[in-house]
Chains A and B, each alone.
Chain A
Amino acid sequence: MDRFFEALFLGLSAGATYSLVALALVVVYRGTGHLNFAQGEMGTLSAFMVWWFNDKGVPLLLAVLFGMAFGFLLGAATEVAIVRPLARRSLLAVFVATITLFLGINAYTSGVWGAPPDELMDSLFPNDPDDFVRVFGTIWRYKDIGTMAVTLIITGLLFLLFQKTRFGLAMRGVASNTDSARLVGIPTGRILAGSWAIAAALGALAAVLVAGNQGQVTPTLMVTVLTYATAAAVLGGLDSPGGAVIAGLLIGVGEAEAAEFAPGWIGQDMKLGVALVAIFVVLLFRPSGLFGTAKVERV
């Protein structure tokens, strides 16, 4: 039973970072209908900025805010300069562009910061050897609890943004019917750039958490995370922030338990497969994901 809880907790902690990136993907998808494959790498680049500020003497928490602001601007600039002109031509062009951006940022960070990495980063949370509590006899480290807490807080804030603010209403309007959104006077361009900006700031935060967990920033920091996060976003239903969070946690726990209890034939190497099989089965029966809205239209 201890092993179960141990794996459960580690799974939740890893899942929380998948959830954050999945949330970023959902914000972009809801706002603009695109899947941003560069979401993870944009986060990695922001994390390198955080490391750079931190290295220059800026306190870590402040450096994280700078990094998120950098992500925010990077996201807005990506939408305005790359996504918007291409989206007029075809969705596929945007798809290819985000993959190009993924490869481009990855090559850039590898080239500039390269291997072997010496970009060390502390966790945002207390992370000394004795910074943990015991729950059900298992060790819960503060940094993992912190990661989960941040994810829950961000989820709550996003919910408020979507449901309770004028900007959120406009975002939902643009996602639902862009033409009508323009006809009620919503400056759609600003809303779209805003969606990408918020998503990239979230991605920056997620990347910092992942970097803090592993103790350093590397060019491949977010590659696996993005794979899990994309799976989580699809599983949760691409337009559902709550679904993205729950699916991210489920995937995190699922892979951790599978690796723990079937080390022989699944183990660390095959655990991604478990998540993907589960997603395949769910999508067979619920094509719009666990919590996504099926399109309803009457003519």
Chain B
Amino acid sequence: MSLLDVRRLRAGYGPVNVLHDIDLSVDDGQIVVVLGANGAGKTTTMRAISGIIPCSGEVTFDGRSITTSSADAIVRAGIAQVPQGRGTFPELSVIDNLRIGAYTRRDGGTSDDVERWFQTFPRLAERSDQRAGSLSGGEQQMLAIARALMSRPKLLLCDEPSLGLAPIIVQEMFHIIDSLSKEQGIAVLLVEQNANLAMDIAQRVYLLETGRIVASGDAATISADDSIRKAYLGY
């Protein structure tokens, strides 16, 4: 039984349908990567799973259907998304960005978790009272990830975390995501254009092309397949 199971997912904007019967699944603690070019439907997939845009088909999470659930119910069920382009709250301080990440929690453990992520990301601790909008791109991406983790999710959705970051920061970012998944047992669904690095940390890979899954399999199998590599990964 997968943690996240997506069947025949269709979604789009107004009359325009972007996704055509997407099937994918993520197991507990697994890192799954969806690769695709601009316009393939990566962000739409993420937004549909998070309940930001309406979708049809069947999305099951943790044994429950969340296809028609509201965005806040989906967060409470245990899915957190790091949206494309950071998605921080630029006018709020760094620490308020973390606090707001725990909005759905009522257990009073917020400040302990803030402390914990400040230890993981010391640069955020240094800038605790600074407005998030004044951070560098890499710092904002770290803040966005830490913010998403504040809700204690079982599944983390990351929408192109490498976008607009320097290669060395991208490496650091993937390393952080990898160790988070290993240490905390958090499952990760990552959509990316940056195929090489993403495949290094993934267990399973899907190739998305104009709203359809055209290939899927183990990360090792996909990266070893010459024809897929040439056609979709460009090297």
A residues sitting closer than 8 Å to B (CB atoms) are: 166, 169-170, 172-173, 175-177, 179-187, 239, 293, 295-299
Does B57 lie at the interface of the complex (its beta carbon under 8 Å from any beta carbon of A)? no
B80 touches A183 (CB 8 A): yes
B133 touches A184 (CB 8 A): no
A183 touches B83 (CB 8 A): yes
Query: Chain A residues with Cβ under 8 A from B64's Cβ?
Result: none
Q: A184 vs B131: C-alpha distance in the bound complex, in angstroms?
A: 18
Does B184 lie at the interface of the complex (its beta carbon under 8 Å from any beta carbon of A)? no
Q: A185 vs B72: C-alpha distance in the bound complex, in angstroms?
A: 4
B residues sitting closer than 8 Å to A (CB atoms) are: 50, 52, 70-72, 74-76, 80-81, 83, 85, 87-92, 96, 99-101, 103-104, 131, 133-137, 140, 147-148, 150-151, 164
Query: Chain B residues with Cβ under 8 A from A172's Cβ?
Result: 89, 91-92, 96
Query: Chain A residues with Cβ under 8 A from B80's Cβ?
Result: 183-184
What residue in chain B is nearest A182 (Cβ atoms)? B71
8 new A-B contacts, CB < 8 A, other than A184-B100, A184-B104, are: A172-B91, A176-B89, A177-B89, A183-B75, A184-B151, A186-B100, A186-B103, A298-B133
Partner of B131, one of A180, A182, A296: A296
Partner of A179, one of B52, B101, B164: B52
B72 touches A298 (CB 8 A): no
> What's the nearest-Cβ distance from chain A to residue B169, in Å?
14
Partner of A177, one of B88, B104, B135: B88
For this complex, 6 residue pairs linking A to B, each with C-beta atoms less than 8 Å apart, are A176-B92, A185-B104, A186-B72, A239-B91, A293-B91, A298-B137
B103 touches A184 (CB 8 A): yes
B100 touches A173 (CB 8 A): yes
Q: A177 vs B140: C-alpha distance in the bound complex, in angstroms?
A: 14
Query: Chain B residues with Cβ under 8 A from A298's Cβ?
Result: 133-137, 140
A-B contacts counted at CB < 8 A amount to 90
8 tightest Cβ-Cβ pairs between the two chains A and B: A185-B75, A185-B104, A176-B89, A185-B72, A296-B133, A180-B87, A182-B71, A176-B91
What residue in chain A is nearest B157 (Cβ atoms)? A183
Query: Chain B residues with Cβ under 8 A from A173's Cβ?
Result: 89, 92, 100, 103
Partner of B71, one of A166, A185, A239, A297: A185
Of listed B75, B89, B137, residue having the most chain A CB within 10 A: B89
Of listed A169, A176, A186, A187, residue having the most chain B CB within 10 A: A176
Query: Chain A residues with Cβ under 8 A from B136's Cβ?
Result: 298
A296 touches B90 (CB 8 A): yes
Query: Chain A residues with Cβ under 8 A from B140's Cβ?
Result: 298
A169 touches B99 (CB 8 A): yes
Q: A184 vs B152: C-alpha distance in the bound complex, in angstroms?
A: 11
Query: Chain B residues with Cβ under 8 A from A184's Cβ?
Result: 75, 80, 100-101, 103-104, 147-148, 150-151
Query: Chain A residues with Cβ under 8 A from B133's Cβ?
Result: 295-298
> What's the nearest-Cβ distance from chain A to residue B69, in Å?
11
What residue in chain B is nearest A180 (Cβ atoms)? B87
Query: Chain A residues with Cβ under 8 A from B150's Cβ?
Result: 184
Of listed A177, A186, A239, A297, residue having the most chain B CB within 10 A: A177
Query: Chain B residues with Cβ under 8 A from A175's Cβ?
Result: 91
What residue in chain B is nearest A239 (Cβ atoms)? B91
Query: Chain B residues with Cβ under 8 A from A179's Cβ?
Result: 52, 83, 87
Q: A169 vs B150: C-alpha distance in the bound complex, in angstroms?
A: 15
B103 touches A166 (CB 8 A): yes
Q: A186 vs B52: C-alpha distance in the bound complex, in angstroms?
A: 12
A296 touches B71 (CB 8 A): no
Q: A187 vs B75: C-alpha distance in the bound complex, in angstroms?
A: 11
A177 touches B87 (CB 8 A): yes
Q: A180 vs B52: C-alpha distance in the bound complex, in angstroms?
A: 10
> What's the nearest-Cβ distance from chain A to residue B73, in Å?
8
What residue in chain A is nearest B46 (Cβ atoms)? A183
A187 touches B72 (CB 8 A): yes
Q: A183 vs B150: C-alpha distance in the bound complex, in angstroms?
A: 12
Query: Chain B residues with Cβ under 8 A from A177's Cβ?
Result: 87-90
Q: A183 vs B89: C-alpha distance in the bound complex, in angstroms?
A: 12
Q: A177 vs B91: C-alpha distance in the bound complex, in angstroms?
A: 9
Partner of A182, one of B52, B92, B99: B52
Query: Chain B residues with Cβ under 8 A from A181's Cβ?
Result: 89, 100
Contact A180/B164 with A298-B135, A298-B136, A298-B140 known, Cβ cut-off 8 Å: no
Contact A183/B103 with A172-B92, A176-B92 known, Cβ cut-off 8 Å: no
